[in-house]
A and B are shown apart, each in its own frame.
Chain A
């Protein structure tokens, strides 16, 4: 199969829903909880097939997190489902104490993350969730880039013993990673090799990074494009290997620049090998209504923003 070819647009949340259903078939211990958003989270297939293992909690997210921790004490592997803002900020204390500090095997599955939630506006467009979750000890943070990767990451989460935050989105986006991929938590994936600049991208912006790579190639810049679906633990070895080759970096994510992937990578580089770096992300603002494409452009997270960031950073490169 050719690399990085769009196999047709699909939403990442459907990748989650499909994998959850498969997990339901393969493991008796997998249970799911949802706070009144079963359709939005694509959990209806699981709920229909395994009604005894699906718990509708109503609009009570704090209770859902606690129940999930309790199900884990009872030997189950609970997957909670709601929007990303209700999965994190609203229930942060419950997650911190009953899930993370108690080290419970709970999978927090969060849809509609980021600005591409679109028209519903800033109340629902959480751009801080990666930061909130990555600060918690014991917590793994995963932000897959397409349908296939979300599906694989969901299955990998079930096989990992401990709390996981799995973040995905609402819109249909290019599905370009292999359908049969094995997902390894904590491993970066080199999508395109290059020698002039390293672009580290996560989530929906991975496809934008690939688009930017093509434009840059026309401009004579050979970018290395690396997908980081796991933000924590961070794959420092892969990042350093690329940086030692390219000597400059751009990070791209649908998240605040504070607390996201870019911050993690800049910290790693500052501590080990100070390197010019530019961040593509949300610059300390709340979002607004609009289509996903319009919003990515407006807030500086489009393909051209990645191209500009690369041009800036390559000019700053130490020679």
Chain B
């Protein structure tokens, strides 16, 4: 990849200080420490955006902050100044309800101003309650919200890349409850059939869904065995460990001849001790008081 080795100067205006720095492959690969700091900033902005919105999904958004940080600031090849770059790695967010963390990661990566996060869920905003392509927010490949569709789309994208001998990858993010949708398994079957090793799925295994514990609502275990029997390479890691995620993605990216899935064990509400693991925060937004408390907890 020629562009991979192209250096380019980016001028950033921030707090009236002009920084000029050299950047490789558009987005620099951040170190583990830098990623951890970024994940904290992203969590805080998720809380702020949801407070202003007054509704939305906090629990899953906080639980996935580390995954989004790792993808957008370490693993994915992308260019926020050129969202349609044909050689970009693609992310398909199949669980559109965690839009707050998706939008916050995109804003921090430079796709649009961080201030715009304050428009989340407001009339006329590009930041729809669930991501909508029709609203032209840069960095979004697909409208998503109705569950169980993203993996099929990712299969189509990986097939297109294969036809073109292109080396870009497709990353997807799914919920554990989402795996109850039958269409996920249609897609899983087809990804293995076509040996799509450029496809790396991640399951946000937080063990909860709207109505309660996944195992009470509709058991999906044994999950690793299910994926393996469908012909996938299966990895498991702590989905709230930056280092663990980087390492696991590196392994999955090396797999050839089959698609990979990472079962990422996360905590809903991660970072805010008082709500961690509480499924009642799946679809709630914090009020002003809660948001202050939550931000203080995130800062530790």
A53-B92 Cα distance, complex, nearest whole Å = 23
Q: Does B163 contact A (CB under 8 A)?
A: yes
Closest to A33 in B: B156
Asked whether A66 and B155 contact (CB < 8 A) given A53-B163, A76-B160, the answer is yes
CB of B160, distance to nearest CB on chain A (Å): 2
- Kindly identify, within residues 140 to 174 of chain B, every residue whose CB is under 8 Å from any CB belonging to chain A: 141-146, 148-161, 163-164
Contact A101 B159 (CB under 8 A): no
Name B62-95 residues within 8 Å CB distance of A: 86, 90, 92
User: Which residue of the partner chain, among B153, B182, B186, contacts A98 with CB atoms under 8 Å?
Assistant: B153
Instruction: Please judge, given known A-B contacts A97-B145, A103-B133, whether A78 and B156 are in contact too, CB under 8 Å.
Output: yes
Could you say which interface size class chain B belongs to? 20 to 34
**A63 contacts B183, C-beta separation under 8 Å:** yes
Residues 93-134 of A, flagged 1 when their CB comes within 8 A of B and 0 if not, give 110111001110000000000000000000000000000000
CB neighbours (8 Å) of B86 from chain A are 75
Q: Does A276 contact B (CB under 8 A)?
A: no
Q: Within the assembled complex, what's the spacing in Å between the Cα atoms of A138 and B145?
A: 18
Is the pair B146, A66 in contact by a Cβ cutoff of 8 Å?
no
Q: B141 touches which one: A63, A65, A67, A73 (CB < 8 A)?
A: A73
Complex Cα spacing A252 to B108, Å? 56
Stretch at the interface among A54-62, A151-159, A194-202: A54-62
B171 to chain A, nearest CB (A): 13
Which residue from B133, B143, B161 sits with its C-beta under 8 Å from A74?
Answer: B161
Q: In angstroms, how far is the closest chain A Cβ from the Cβ of B138?
A: 15
A67 neighbours in B (Cβ, 8 Å): 152-153, 155-156, 159, 187, 190
Residue of A63, A72, A78, A98 touching B143 (CB-CB under 8 A)? A98
A-chain residues with CB within 8 Å of residue B92 when the two chains form the complex: 70
A65 lies within 8 A of B152 (CB): yes
The 3 closest A-B pairs by CB, nearest first: A70-B156, A74-B160, A66-B152
Residues of A within 8 A of B (CB): 31, 52-53, 55, 57-58, 60, 62-76, 78, 93-94, 96-98, 101-103, 138
Could you list 6 A-B pairs, sorted by A, with CB under 8 Å?
A31-B163, A57-B190, A63-B189, A66-B151, A70-B158, A74-B157
